[in-house]
Structure 1
C-alpha cells in the first residue's frame, strides 16, 4: 500500500470536519507534506468522486458525501486502485516438474489463501468509514490539538 493512502485518509478526516473548502496548500502545510505530492493524492480522490474542488477566493477541497458514506476501502482504491495485493503467476506450471495446464483444474492453493486474505482485508477496510476515523481521532487526540487544527484551517 502506498504512502498516498495515509495522506488521503488524513485529508478526508480533516475535510469531514472543516465546514468549508480547504485549499490543497493548506492541507499540505498542515500535514507537512509536499504540496505537489498531496495534490496528486487529492486528484486521485477527486477522480474517484470522493472529494471535489471548488474555485474562487474561498476555493479548496470538500468531501462529496458524508464521511459516514466513505469507507477506508474507497480511499485505498482511489489512491492505489482495486488491484488485488497478490497475483498468481501459476508457479506450479513452471520448471522441470511443471504441472501441465490441463491438469490445473482448480486454483492454486497458495492463490486461494492469498485471495481469501485479500478479501478479508478489503472487507475489514470496507467496514470502517471516514466518520469512524473522525470519531476515533476525536477520542484519542487532545481537545487543544483539535482546536488548534480547526483554527489553523481557518487562518
Structure 2
C-alpha cells in the first residue's frame, strides 16, 4: 500500500507542534521551512488536519496551526484518514464477472470473491494497527530513538 507524502508531512508537523509546546500557532511558512517543504502543498495537508479536528487554524499575521487535542487522543489512523480520506484502499471491480466469467449464472457471484475477502481482511488488520497507535506513542518512540530531537526542533524554531 502506498500513501501520499502528505501523511508523513502531517505526522511530522503534529510532532513538531507538540515539541514546541503547542502554546502559540505556528505558520505554514515556518513549518514548511523547518522541513524544506513547499508551503502551498503543506498548507493543504494542514487544512485537512484542521478539517478533521486534529489541528486548529488561526488566520492572520500571527496565525497558524496548533494541535486541537493532546497527542494521546490522536491516532495514526486519524491522520491517515484526514490526509488520504476514508475510502478503502482496495477497490474490487468484480472482474470475475467479465470474460470467462460473463456467462456464469448470477448465483455464483452472491458471495464476495476470495481476492476481495483476502484484501479486505489485510486492510482491516492494517487499519486496526494504525488506530491502536497514538501520536503520543510515535512521539515517545521518536524521543527514545533521538533524545535530542525535541530540543533541536525548539532551538531551530526559536532562531528562525
> Normalization by structure 1: what TM-score?
0.92
Gaps (5+ residues) in structure 1?
none
Alignment size in residue pairs: 154
**1 CA distance for matches of 2:110 and 2:45?**
41
Gaps (5+ residues) in structure 2?
none
Give 2:10's aligned residue.
8
Q: Of residues 45, 49, 64 in structure 2, which corresponds to 1:45? A: 49
8 Å contact 1:93–1:100 — kept in the other structure?
A: no
Confirm or deny that 1:134 pairs with 2:136: no
8 Å contact 1:23–1:61 — kept in the other structure?
A: yes
**2 CA distance for matches of 1:62 and 1:97?**
54
Q: Give secondary structure in 1 for the equivalent of 2:86.
A: coil
Give 1:29's aligned residue.
33
Please report how far the alpha carbon of residue 16 of structure 1 lies from its aligned counterpart in structure 2 after TM superposition.
Answer: 1.8
Give 1:120's aligned residue.
125
**1 CA distance for matches of 2:106 and 2:5?**
38
The root-mean-square deviation of aligned C-alpha atoms, in Å, is 1.4
Q: Give secondary structure in 2 for the equivalent of 1:73.
A: helix
**2 CA distance for matches of 1:124 and 1:66?**
20
Change (3 A) 1:154 1:54: farther
Please report how far the alpha carbon of residue 54 of structure 1 lies from its aligned counterpart in structure 2 after TM superposition.
Answer: 2.0
